[in-house]
Structure 1
Amino acid sequence: MLRLPQIIRNFFLRFEGLFGVLFQSVSNFFGNIFGFFAQLFGFTNSGYFLESDEVQGIKEASAKQPIEKVQNNTAKIPTTNSRPPNAKLDDYYLNMARDVKKK
């Protein structure tokens, strides 16, 4: 790489890093200010825009009858998911090992 383009690229990388650090602190400052006012007016409460449960027509889950669970009495047989053998690849490595032994 030529020396001048390398110097220019390094300069712009450092310049970008400087602005990233400066603007991050500025954005954190404004974020803290707006966060304070949001907390002051109650906008951080997640339920401030929801209506009450009666207005929405939501009923308690306990009012419903419990669902009956049917037990399955069949025995579960554990299965293994082994990969099928790759005979072609195994033969390749066995042949390679034989060739190494011959030498």
Structure 2
Amino acid sequence: MLRLPQIIRNLFLRLEGLFGVLFQTISNLVGNFFGFFAKLFGFTSSGYFLESDQAQAIKQASAKQPIEKAQDNTAKIPATNRRRSNAKIDDYYLNMARDVKKN
């Protein structure tokens, strides 16, 4: 490998690592800043986006109703598909193998 492309690749890898560390630190600072205000206004409570208990009780009661299943009256026939013997094809390949063996 030529030295110049190797040096350029290593330089870009090191710059990428440096920017990754710097931007991770900056993103953590921004996240902590907005996280403080989210906690202050109560956006982090788990029940904030949930519906009221009364609406959830109605949904749970309606979901518990049994579902009727229609019975299938058709007779179940077991599928047993046997392969036909391919005697003609088998004989053809056996004869071909014998001819090759003879020659």
CA distance in 1, matches of 2:11, 2:2: 15
TM-score, normalised to structure 1, is 0.53
Kindly tell me: are residues 51 and 6 of structure 1, through their superposed partners in 2, closer, same or farther at Cα, counting changes over 3 Å? same
Cα deviation, residue 46, structure 1: 1.4
Specify which structure has the higher proportion of helix: 2
Give the structure 2 partner of residue 13 of structure 1: 13
Pair member with larger Rg: 2
CA RMSD for the aligned pairs?
2.0
Residue type of the alignment partner of 2:3:
R
Cα deviation, residue 49, structure 1: 2.1
The number of aligned residues is 61
CA distance in 2, matches of 1:6, 1:26: 30
CA distance in 2, matches of 1:51, 1:34: 25
TM-score, normalised to structure 2, is 0.53
Give the structure 2 partner of residue 51 of structure 1: 51
Cα deviation, residue 51, structure 1: 2.8
Kindly tell me: are residues 40 and 2 of structure 1, through their superposed partners in 2, closer, same or farther at Cα, counting changes over 3 Å? same
**Structure 1 runs not aligned, ≥5 long:** 65-103
Aligned-residue identity in percent: 75
Superposed CA offset, 1:44-100 (max 9, x none): 11111223212x050689xx9xxxxxxxxxxxxxxxxxxxxxxxxxxxxxxxxxxxx
CA distance in 2, matches of 1:51, 1:12: 50
Give the structure 2 partner of residue 40 of structure 1: 40
Q: Secondary structure at the match of 1:58?
A: helix
Alignment of 1:1-103 (within 5 A): 1-54=1-54, 56=55, 58=57
**Structure 2 runs not aligned, ≥5 long:** 65-103
Q: Secondary structure at the match of 2:45?
A: coil
